[in-house]
Amino acid sequence: MTFGQWRQQARLLEALSRIASGQPIASIAQDLGYSSQSAFISMFRKALGKTPTRYFQPADSE
């Protein structure tokens, strides 16, 4: 694993914790060093297959 991959995984784990606690996506993106909320959401979707909001929705509500 490269340093860049490791850093992305660390950011993703921190983001998951913060999203689960109800923090706003914009604040999470800024705190974790993303240039915009859109850049953060794009990374999240690429890594986990869903946007942050959809990731925490119950499966039966999709």
Confidence of residue 11 (pLDDT cuts 50, 70, 90): very high
Query: For domain 3-61, which architecture applies?
Result: Orthogonal Bundle (1.10)
Domain range summary for the chain, segments of one domain joined by +? 3-61
* Contact status, residue 40 vs residue 34, Cβ threshold 8 Å: yes
Q: Which two tokens stand for residue 41?
A: 């959401």
* Contact status, residue 42 vs residue 32, Cβ threshold 8 Å: no
pTM of the predicted model as reported, rounded to 2 decimal places: 0.83
Percent helix, strand and coil across the chain, each to the nearest 5: 70, 0, 30
* Tens digit of each residue's pLDDT (9 = 90 or more) over 13-60: 999 999 999 999 999 999 999 999 999 999 999 999 999 989 988 776
